Amino acid sequence: MTVEQRLRDAMQARVESVDAPELRVGAERPRRVWPVAAAGFAIVVVLALAVALVAHGDGGGSVQPAARAFPKQIVAVTADGRVIVASSKDGHALRTLANGALAGGGLAVSPDGRTVYYARDTGGRCSNGDPITAIAAIPAGGGASTDLVTNVRFPAVSPNGRYLAFTGIPNCSDAGRSILVRDLTVADHTNSSYDQGWTVHNEATSPWVSIDSLAWAPDSRHVLFTHASDAAEADGGPRLLDTSAGVSASLDTSPPVSTAANVICCTMGATGPEYGSVLDSGGFARGVVTVDSRTGKVARTLTCCGEVVDVDRAGRSLLIHFTDTDHPGGVYRWSPGDAKPTFLGGLIFAARWLPGS
């Protein structure tokens, strides 16, 4: 878990609504029995396989290929600020997309796998030396990057690909107190570079908070987020933001997500959180867990001392950043049931699966 430097001035974000070939049978040749029998057997096998595939298809009559255990590639930000596409088999870099990324600023990939969003170091500095960042978009296949909005971090793309959420860090005076949402389908935005905004308050324990993570629910409407304050790390716990509510009230007054204490969930299933990381009292990951979507409680511990970075679309393979002494620092690929995780690289700071690869 990234612990941002605590800066104390607040941002007020206005809330604006966002319109929220035909088979040919050859002539029979009686004098050759075995070829005919073999061909007949092959046809039966093919038909049986076809029926099995349809029976396990998507319900729409189309035949779907068997799903791979995990995508072939990942997108990653390295410790030296490169945005790369790498092999998910062994972590070797396939191509470099950009330089100048802020390693701790977050990373997101569009659901179609075509666009990568990352926090770019603009080169400017705040009076305290912190970098001034912008969320940039770049094609996953390579090309020029485009800055979308400045003074923000932690991009997160909705499952329908329409919305990009991020945390606001305005005028070098906030550690990420606001959640902002940009509609990627429109050219003109209500608030210059974004369309909706909410300021998070935690007046019971502190006059300021720092939003630590964002994750969209499958409905592309709700955003699961966690935040910390100077009173205790992640003391605010996970919360669920309804982006279509159209109100600017404190998000701490919204119904809390029912999940175990000190758990950051990085994935959301149809009915709730699925995977998460258990945090210690200092806010650092000490275990990877599954979360019961019905109760919001930890179902079981998958492995010790790691933080869930991403989960593939099929929910079968995880990218994990281990935080214990038994694993060299870096990102690993791991599927529950595997004997051991696969090390993808010590220079990889942030990573996401590349859909469609």
Residue 29 lies in a domain: no
Residues 6+ apart with CB under 8 A from 43: none
Is residue 211 in a domain? yes
| Across 222-245, average pLDDT | 71
Instruction: Indicate whether 6 belongs to any domain.
Output: no
CATH code of 309's domain: 2.120.10.30
Q: How confident is the model at residue 326 (pLDDT cuts 50, 70, 90)?
A: confident
Task: Report the pLDDT value the prediction gives residue 10, as an integer from 0 to 100.
Answer: 28
Residue 59 within any structural domain of the chain: no
CA distance linking residue 302 with residue 337, whole number of Å = 9
Q: Is the pLDDT of residue 184 over 60?
A: yes
Mean pLDDT of 153-159: 93
249 belongs to a structural domain = yes
Taking only the tens place, the pLDDT of each residue in 272-297 is 788 888 887 776 788 899 988 878 88
What is the Cα–Cα distance from 2 to 114, expressed in whole angstroms?
Answer: 27
In-domain check, residue 191: yes
With respect to residue 65, please indicate whether it lies within any of the assigned structural domains. no
Lowest-pLDDT range, 28-37, 104-113, 184-193, 299-308? 28-37
Share of the chain above pLDDT 90, in %: 29
- Rounded mean pLDDT of 317-332? 85
Cα(115)–Cα(352) distance, rounded to whole angstroms? 12
Contacts 24+ apart (CB under 8 A), 283-290: 283/1, 283/3, 283/212, 283/228, 283/233, 283/234, 284/1, 284/323, 285/1, 285/321, 285/323, 286/323, 288/318, 288/320, 289/263, 290/336
Helix (H, G, I), strand (E, B) or coil at 290: strand
Instruction: Quickly state the pLDDT bin for 155 (edges 50, 70, 90).
Output: very high
Cα gap 76→103, rounded to integer Å: 9
The whole-number pLDDT of residue 49 equals 31
Its pTM stands at 0.76
CA distances for 253 relative to 13, 173, 201, 204, angstroms: 17, 24, 9, 11
> What values do phi and psi take at 331, rounded to 5?
-105, 140
Amino acid, res. 42:
A
- Least Cα distance to 224 among 269, 185, 177, 284 occurs for 269
- Which range is most confident: 108-112, 228-232, 279-283? 108-112
62 assigned to some structural domain: no
- Segment 217-230 shows an average pLDDT of 81
pLDDT band at residue 209 under the 50/70/90 scheme: low
Q: Which of 132-146, 178-192, 307-321 has the lowest mean pLDDT?
A: 307-321
pLDDT for residue 29: 36
Answer yes or no: are the C-beta atoms of 154 and 180 closer than 8 Å: no
Starting at the earlier edge strand, list the strands of the sheet with 178-183.
152-157, 163-168, 178-183, 196-199
Boundaries of domain holding 171: 71-348
Average pLDDT for 153-171: 89
**Residues 22-80: pLDDT tens digits?**
323 333 333 333 333 333 333 333 333 333 333 333 333 333 334 457 899 999 999 99
The pLDDT score that the predictor gives to residue 41 is 34
Taking all residues of the chain, what is their mean pLDDT, rounded to a whole number? 75
Joined tokens for residue 137: 């978009």
Count the domains in the chain. 1
